């Protein structure tokens, strides 16, 4: 069977309490129901920076609970997706061979990967491979995405997982998740929506200089950075917003590149 040509995703992955947000859960489930079924999923998460590009476990390993201060139930979540050793081999080939990558065979999926996957592919029946971001440089990540783009023709769903705005020091998670967004989050979100709609990749790559309130929306840039991998893998494909709105004032915007 010839694999489907897969879209590329960038999604805002939330935090462990996403599992208790009925609206967001439903949005992610509805999105995945519209996707062609992937042969495997390649995850690039905001929560794993390591150089050179590092390949995670290719067997089912315990999850990485890389967060703290949450109720115990969030540390009991499991997601026993199959590993993807063949995909790991292809990533090595595409990125530049054995000398351009490292392996971390014991590293399981972190919450930037499994939190959205639990909602989108709850049966954990699709092989998943996570790779690190080897840098936060937008142009370099865009180049990584371009190298990975051939995987789309092989039935692999490439997912960049971050958060469209992310400044936890400026929000109050003790209140309602439906609070109106602060101006810095709304302005950045509107700017990003327009740049994505028009396909202005150069503006997105230079977001620290072109976006309003960039320093407030992303005081550190790791949650926006997976978008650059997705943009590279998308190879100028148009994008459609699949999830929008705000969660505790942070922009949930998620997009699909066709």
Domains: count for the chain: 1
**pLDDT at residue 98 above 80?**
no
**pLDDT at residue 120 above 90?**
yes
User: Does residue 3 lie in a domain region?
Assistant: no
Which of the listed ranges 2-11, 65-74, 181-190 does the model predict with the highest average pLDDT?
181-190
**pLDDT at residue 238 above 80?**
yes
Question: Within 10 Å of residue 237's Cβ, how many Cβ atoms?
Answer: 17
User: Does residue 241 lie in a domain region?
Assistant: yes
What is the share, in percent, of the chain residues with pLDDT greater than 70? 98
Q: What is the pLDDT of residues 20-44, one digit of tens each?
A: 899 999 999 999 999 999 999 999 9
Residue pair 177/21 in contact by the 8 Å Cβ criterion: yes
Q: Give SS3 for 124.
A: coil
Residue pair 121/41 in contact by the 8 Å Cβ criterion: yes
User: Does residue 2 lie in a domain region?
Assistant: no
User: Does residue 60 lie in a domain region?
Assistant: yes
Mean pLDDT throughout 209-236? 97
Torsion-angle region of residue 155: left (phi > 0), alpha (psi -120 to 50) or beta? Answer: left
d(CA 176, CA 167): 17
Joined together, the tokens standing for residue 175 give 């209140």
Q: Quote the mean pLDDT of the chain.
A: 95
**pLDDT at residue 102 above 80?**
yes
pLDDT at 40: 98
Question: At 105, which CATH number?
Answer: 3.40.830.10
pTM over 0.85: yes
User: Does residue 37 lie in a domain region?
Assistant: yes
Q: What is the pLDDT of residues 49-83, one digit of tens each?
A: 999 999 999 999 999 998 877 888 989 999 999 99
What separation in angstroms does the CA of 35 have from each of 28, 117, 128, 188, 257? 11, 13, 16, 28, 11
User: Does residue 238 lie in a domain region?
Assistant: yes
User: Does residue 242 lie in a domain region?
Assistant: yes
Report the range of poorest mean pLDDT among 142-146, 168-172, 225-229. 168-172
Peptide bond before 98: cis, by omega within 30 degrees of 0?
no
Joined together, the tokens standing for residue 154 give 């092989």
d(CA 134, CA 48): 9
Q: Give SS3 for 126.
A: coil
User: Does residue 16 lie in a domain region?
Assistant: yes
Task: Give the burial class of 78: count Cβ atoms within 10 A of its Cβ; 0-12 exposed, 13-18 middle, 19 or more buried.
Answer: exposed
Mean pLDDT throughout 111-140? 97
Mean pLDDT throughout 221-229? 98
Range of 42's domain? 8-257
Q: How confident is the model at residue 173 (pLDDT cuts 50, 70, 90)?
A: confident
Question: Within 10 Å of residue 59's Cβ, how many Cβ atoms?
Answer: 11
Mean pLDDT throughout 241-257? 97
**pLDDT at residue 205 above 80?**
yes
Joined together, the tokens standing for residue 110 give 């972190």
Adjacent-strand bridge partners of 44? 131, 160
What is the share, in percent, of the chain residues with pLDDT greater than 90? 85
Residue pair 27/244 in contact by the 8 Å Cβ criterion: no
Mean pLDDT throughout 75-104? 92
d(CA 152, CA 106): 26
pLDDT at 2: 62
Helices assigned H by DSSP within the chain:
22-34, 85-95, 111-120, 138-148, 183-198, 201-205, 207-210, 214-217, 226-234
């Amino acid at each position: 069977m010839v694999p489907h040509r897969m879209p590329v995703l960038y999604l805002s992955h939330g935090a462990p309490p996403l599992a208790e947000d009925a609206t967001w859960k439903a949005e992610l489930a509805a999105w995945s129901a519209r996707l062609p079924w992937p042969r495997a999923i390649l995850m690039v998460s905001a929560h794993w920076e390591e150089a050179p590009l590092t390949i995670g476990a290719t067997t089912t390993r315990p999850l990485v609970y890389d967060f703290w201060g949450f109720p115990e139930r969030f540390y009991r979540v499991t997601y026993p997706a199959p590993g993807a050793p063949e995909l790991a081999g292809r990533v090595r080939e595409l990125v530049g061979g054995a000398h351009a990558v490292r392996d971390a065979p014991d590293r399981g999926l972190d919450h930037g990967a499994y939190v959205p996957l639990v909602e989108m592919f709850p049966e954990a029946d699709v092989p998943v491979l996570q790779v690190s971001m080897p840098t936060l440089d937008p142009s370099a990540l865009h180049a990584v995405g371009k190298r990975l783009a051939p995987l789309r023709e092989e039935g692999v769903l490439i997912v960049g997982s971050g958060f469209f705005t992310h400044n936890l020091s400026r929000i109050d998670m003790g209140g309602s998740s439906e609070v109106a967004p602060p101006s810095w989050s709304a302005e950045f979100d509107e700017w990003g929506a327009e740049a994505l709609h028009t396909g202005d990749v150069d503006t997105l790559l230079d977001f620290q200089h072109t976006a309003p309130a960039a320093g407030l929306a992303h005081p550190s840039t790791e949650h926006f950075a997976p978008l650059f991998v997705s943009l590279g893998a998308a190879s100028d494909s148009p994008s459609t917003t699949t999830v929008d709105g705000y969660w505790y004032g942070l922009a949930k915007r998620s997009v699909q590149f066709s």
